[in-house]
Chain A
Amino acid sequence: MNLKLLVWRQKGPQAPGRMVEYPAPDVSPDMSFLEMLDVVNEGLIRKGEDPIAFDSDCREGICGMCSLVVNGVPHGPDRAATVCQLHMRRFHDGETIVVEPWRAAAFPVVKDLIVDRSAFDRIVAAGGYNTVKAGGAPDGNSILIPKDQAEQAMDAAQCIGCGACVAACKNASAALFVSAKVQHLASVPQGQPERYRRVRAMIAQLDREGFGSCSNEGECEAVCPKQIPIANIAAMNRDYVRAMMPGPLALALGGITEAFEDD
């Protein structure tokens, strides 16, 4: 097939960007979307032009590195898939495809289709973990975890941290990303000691990074390649309310068991 691409080109973070048109001739329906871009880039290199910069690594939907908005939808038209899993047979001959980077103030463009998602790392650093020392853990079977509870934890833990949720949200909210981690660790017994401290710290960092607030639009869930449901956001909010209550009240509700000196 022969296609036309409209691609966002931007030389650097401060430079102005614009849409540029490229022909994509002789595209095989068996190519993945990223392989199609590879081929276009090979042509650009041979002509001595600057190839289109975009991120990718695993190319099988698990690393979360690829991050393209295709025809206005993060990761493109397929449900439950990343853009590296999208194949060209999804398009038809003569079509024009619009390719843009994630757009959110907290994800500044680095170049062309590459954005800076380090805000996600800082949110995890703020509290997205259990504190454990290597070598000090009890036997893995010493605390039993019912199967469905483990499955529930796994459902949330699947998040690949790609940021499509932010890109799809009109508020550029990262609530789905944060809630997935909060709910993963809140679903296992090993995550309980730091449960409320964690949610407080992660949300405080979320706010500092300049992500918008969640207003229950649900766009995030629709584009999430791992189909993480927004029910996690509600559960996170519940934990957050408990975490923010003053001591005695929270204790009565089964929430906070420790005092916070910091955010």
Chain B
Amino acid sequence: MNLDPHIPSGPLAEKWHRHQFECKLVNPANRRRYTIIIVGTGLAGAAAAAALGELGYNVLSFCIQDSPRRAHSIAAQGVINAAKNYSNDGDSIWRLFYDTIKGGDYRAREANVHRLAQVSVDIIDHCVAQGVPFAREYGGLLDNRSFGGAQVSRTFYCRGQTGQQLLLGAYQSMMCQVNRGTVKVFSRREMLDLVVAEGRARGIVVRNLTTGELECYEGHAVLLATGGYGNAWYLSTNAVNSNVTAAYRCHRRGAGFANPCFAQIHPTCIPMSGDHQSKLTLMSESLRNDGRVWVPKTQGDRRKPAEIPEAERDYFLERKYPSFGNLVPRDVASRNAKEVCDDGRGVGDSGLSVYLDFSDSIQRLGRNAIEEKYGNLFHMYQKITDENPYESPMRIYPAIHYTMGGLWVDYNLMSTIPGLHVLGEANFSDHGANRLGASALMQGLADGYFVIPTTVAHYLAGIPQARLSTDHEAFRDVSAAVQARLDRMLRISGSRTPRQFHRELGRILWDQAGMSRNEAGLKDALARIPKLREEFWQDVRVPGEANNLNQSLEYAGRVADYLEFGELIARDALERRESCGGHFREESQTPDNEAMRDDAHFQHAAVWEYTGEGKTPNFHKEPLVFENVTPTQRSYA
């Protein structure tokens, strides 16, 4: 597997500009002769469709939802980073680059991250021109907030709906191109496989979710912008249709999968209330600014929180991390919550939550001040849980939130399959082992608006213009295989629903490959997942037919892929015998239980090559070279 990252030469700050100049171009008159398939209409996919349509390419855009505007990006509540230094607090492209590399615990590629920081400034300008209603100050300037422990105020926001507004901006620009005839939208379509012909990605096979028919589409390049795979763990903050299918199917066709075990867990989510739970709702991290996290000191203490005297409460974050207290990073807060719950001191009916208590802040600042800051969140919490957080403490628990792993790409965002490019959360490139808050939105838009227009042109200019018929045997073979798999699922007619299998897989991954991982647990997962997969193929029950709208069949297909992919997560976590970022291996920690990296052995991206069903995948490394920053070990003691 060729893992040459194709990093341009020259000093870090000049690489991107140099590369832009060195990349081949496609003549404006020729662009309409090239068809580009874009799967996904989140920030990455919609931005790419808008930008490439505007350049004059023939773009085909696909999404699962009934409209491109509903992609999962719409749900991002928070903020987006950009190194504008409008706040005059010493921010710069270099600082954003540095924070991102360090935040990723030195497991990302310098050149990619620097480019991301560079184009971040253009994103804001472009979005303003689209009419995105960013928050403003009284004087009319763009307002900034500090976020997620960053020491500068570099985030931009639209109330609590930043992802929504950025996505609508991209969607509208894309629809403008639909009007001009450069972009065609195919919604309610699910990509079920990639077509590779003569060594290049040349098309996709999708299922029309309305009619159930399989459809083939041909293009000169395929851009995958299908988001993250957090739902492999069953419960996550992701939208329910988010999945790994498109990426995993490409992996099966030869695309290397990088760092699948890198997942981010968010500490402040509303805990689950029962087996019926279908997703977890994120509560803004800012709550930890004024809330104190605690559990009872004694195990199994079932008293109401108000009846537990101060002396019998364990404010475990404040106790263990006196200088950072409740504001320790996401992974540290999450891991500690799990620890106290595993110790039998968790609260709520399930024992799987910890208190986030605002009573001190309410006493100190008054209820009004708290309401002004967090009114929306408190309201949302009360609606979901029927508990009033002004009167009794909130209950929170960590949940899977974002996946840093993804298909391996080079500097041009091209995977190991020529012509297959991967954008947004679906690739692995910019966040290393841990993503900073406000950086996913930035990366999606950077990839779509600014990076891919340059790099895909370079690719297209170097390949033949000839088209490939969808009658070509490559299409026929792939679509026959897809159809056979669907038919097979429908024929089993067993006794368990796809959801039961998904829930079971989620439990294995959450327990063994979640917040904290160890060799024995991962080996156990590696033994149990294949067994569960076997049971799935013998005992799953999928009602209905293939040639009709059939949501059970859609779901079963995704679960079947999670059952293969889950094994890859566990394998990758087992192979990485160090702790870094969101990946915590119990065997690799400092004396005060902090994550301990092992740069001598693991300063690389781990890339997996598919070798066949049920076979052990081949393992490759892309070494990471740090020429501009020196890796340091973080400490919060």
Say if the beta carbon of A21 comes within 8 Å of chain B. no
Q: Across the interface, do B543 and A131 meet the contact criterion of CB distance under 8 Å?
A: no
Say if the beta carbon of A8 comes within 8 Å of chain B. no
Say if the beta carbon of B383 comes within 8 Å of chain A. yes
Nearest A residue to B143 via CB reads A147
Nearest A residue to B68 via CB reads A121
Q: Kindly state the separation between the CA atoms of A187 and B137 in the bound complex, as whole angstroms.
A: 16
Q: Across the interface, do B134 and A140 meet the contact criterion of CB distance under 8 Å?
A: yes
B220 to chain A, nearest CB (A): 21
Q: Across the interface, do B72 and A141 meet the contact criterion of CB distance under 8 Å?
A: no
* B124 neighbours in A (Cβ, 8 Å): 140
Fill in one digit per residue for A126-158: 1 if any B CB lies within 8 Å of its CB, else 0: 111111111111111101111101110110011
* B14 neighbours in A (Cβ, 8 Å): none
Contact of A129 among B127, B176, B187 (CB under 8 A): B176
B524-575: which have CB < 8 Å to A?
541-544, 548-549, 551-552
Pick from B90-98, B158-166, B311-319 the stretch touching chain A: B158-166
Pick from B195-203, B276-284, B474-482, B601-609 the stretch touching chain A: B276-284
Fill in one digit per residue for A63-74: 1 if any B CB lies within 8 Å of its CB, else 0: 111000000000
Q: Kindly state the separation between the CA atoms of A135 and B171 in the bound complex, as whole angstroms.
A: 17
Contact of B128 among A39, A57, A190 (CB under 8 A): A190
Q: Across the interface, do B172 and A110 meet the contact criterion of CB distance under 8 Å?
A: no
Contact of A30 among B126, B164, B274 (CB under 8 A): B274
Q: Across the interface, do B133 and A125 meet the contact criterion of CB distance under 8 Å?
A: no
Nearest A residue to B278 via CB reads A35
Say if the beta carbon of A170 comes within 8 Å of chain B. no
Q: Kindly state the separation between the CA atoms of A193 and B480 in the bound complex, as whole angstroms.
A: 51
B396 to chain A, nearest CB (A): 16
Contact of A128 among B128, B172, B273 (CB under 8 A): B172
Q: Kindly state the separation between the CA atoms of A106 and B465 in the bound complex, as whole angstroms.
A: 41
Nearest A residue to B493 via CB reads A48
Say if the beta carbon of B453 comes within 8 Å of chain A. yes
Q: Kindly state the separation between the CA atoms of A35 and B179 in the bound complex, as whole angstroms.
A: 38
Say if the beta carbon of A244 comes within 8 Å of chain B. no
Nearest A residue to B498 via CB reads A45
Q: Across the interface, do A135 and B239 meet the contact criterion of CB distance under 8 Å?
A: no
* B626 neighbours in A (Cβ, 8 Å): none
Q: Across the interface, do A58 and B239 meet the contact criterion of CB distance under 8 Å?
A: yes
B382 to chain A, nearest CB (A): 11
B79 to chain A, nearest CB (A): 15
Nearest B residue to A64 via CB reads B70
Fill in one digit per residue for A29-66: 1 if any B CB lies within 8 Å of its CB, else 0: 11110111011001011101111010111111011110
Say if the beta carbon of A87 comes within 8 Å of chain B. yes
Q: Kindly state the separation between the CA atoms of A135 and B173 in the bound complex, as whole angstroms.
A: 13
A149-193: which have CB < 8 Å to B?
149-151, 153-154, 157-158, 160-161, 184-185, 187-188, 190-191
Q: Kindly state the separation between the CA atoms of A65 and B47 in the bound complex, as whole angstroms.
A: 21
Q: Across the interface, do A30 and B129 meet the contact criterion of CB distance under 8 Å?
A: no
Say if the beta carbon of A263 comes within 8 Å of chain B. no
Say if the beta carbon of B309 comes within 8 Å of chain A. no
Contact of A124 among B158, B164, B171, B450 (CB under 8 A): B171
* A161 neighbours in B (Cβ, 8 Å): 67, 69-70
Say if the beta carbon of B449 comes within 8 Å of chain A. yes
Say if the beta carbon of A28 comes within 8 Å of chain B. yes
Q: Across the interface, do B161 and A46 meet the contact criterion of CB distance under 8 Å?
A: no
B393-452: which have CB < 8 Å to A?
449-450
Nearest A residue to B54 via CB reads A133
* A2 neighbours in B (Cβ, 8 Å): none
Say if the beta carbon of A89 comes within 8 Å of chain B. yes
Say if the beta carbon of B50 comes within 8 Å of chain A. yes
Q: Across the interface, do A65 and B274 meet the contact criterion of CB distance under 8 Å?
A: no
B204-241: which have CB < 8 Å to A?
210, 239-241
Of residues A36, A65, A110, A191, which shows the largest number of chain B Cβ atoms within 10 Å of its Cβ? A65
Say if the beta carbon of B468 comes within 8 Å of chain A. no
Q: Across the interface, do B386 and A34 meet the contact criterion of CB distance under 8 Å?
A: no
A82 to chain B, nearest CB (A): 12
Q: Across the interface, do A139 and B125 meet the contact criterion of CB distance under 8 Å?
A: yes
Q: Kindly state the separation between the CA atoms of A141 and B135 in the bound complex, as whole angstroms.
A: 12
Say if the beta carbon of A116 comes within 8 Å of chain B. yes
Q: Kindly state the separation between the CA atoms of A137 and B139 in the bound complex, as whole angstroms.
A: 21
Say if the beta carbon of A111 comes within 8 Å of chain B. yes
* A59 neighbours in B (Cβ, 8 Å): 239-240, 278-279
Say if the beta carbon of B286 comes within 8 Å of chain A. no
* B126 neighbours in A (Cβ, 8 Å): 132, 134-135, 137
Q: Across the interface, do B135 and A150 meet the contact criterion of CB distance under 8 Å?
A: yes
Q: Kindly state the separation between the CA atoms of A147 and B449 in the bound complex, as whole angstroms.
A: 27
Q: Across the interface, do B277 and A35 meet the contact criterion of CB distance under 8 Å?
A: yes
B76-105: which have CB < 8 Å to A?
84, 86
* B70 neighbours in A (Cβ, 8 Å): 57-58, 63-65, 161
A34 to chain B, nearest CB (A): 7
Can you report 13 residue pairs joining A to B where beta carbons are below 8 Å apart?
Answer: A30-B386, A42-B500, A45-B543, A50-B544, A58-B75, A63-B239, A121-B185, A130-B131, A131-B176, A134-B453, A137-B128, A146-B140, A150-B134
The 9 nearest A-B residue pairs measured at CB: A144-B140, A129-B172, A137-B129, A153-B133, A140-B128, A30-B273, A150-B136, A125-B175, A137-B125
Besides A34-B278, A146-B140, 14 other A-B contacts (C-beta < 8 A): A38-B278, A42-B500, A57-B241, A58-B75, A58-B240, A85-B383, A124-B175, A129-B175, A130-B131, A144-B136, A147-B136, A150-B133, A157-B165, A184-B131
